[in-house]
Amino acid sequence: MSFKQTARYIFSPVLNIFESGTEEYHYKPSQRKILLVVGALFTGLSALVLWLALGEDPGYLIPVIIFGSAGLVSLIVGTFGNERGVAKIWGSSK
């Protein structure tokens, strides 16, 4: 089993949400690149907020959870997802 197949198996609960369906979709390769950049920015932003707010008010964990989750899902789908999953995140249907 290759690394990508193993990662797809591990992240299948997330990937199945975005890759399910039979409707037509419109995919552009640039959508995957943008999704990876946005995912990296959101993950970096959440890590920065966590680092700056460590030991402060626990209310700072709310943006860490929200931006971190959005960033991780974007990175997972952008890296291991198929064309349908990427297009579904962008809402690209014909």
On whether residue 66 sits in a domain, the answer given is yes
Question: What does the pLDDT look like over 47-90, one tens digit per residue?
Answer: 999 998 887 788 888 889 999 999 999 999 999 999 999 999 99
Which residue segment(s) compose the domain that 56 sits in?
A: 37-94
* pTM for the structure as a whole: 0.88
* Number of structural domains found in the chain: 1
On whether residue 69 sits in a domain, the answer given is yes
Question: What does the pLDDT look like over 14-60, one tens digit per residue?
Answer: 999 999 988 888 899 999 999 999 999 999 999 999 998 887 788 88
pLDDT at 93 over 80: no
d(CA 60, CA 81): 31
d(CA 67, CA 8): 22
On whether residue 83 sits in a domain, the answer given is yes
On whether residue 67 sits in a domain, the answer given is yes
DSSP state of 11: T
Torsion angle of C-alpha atoms 74, 18, 89, 34, degrees rounded to 10:
40
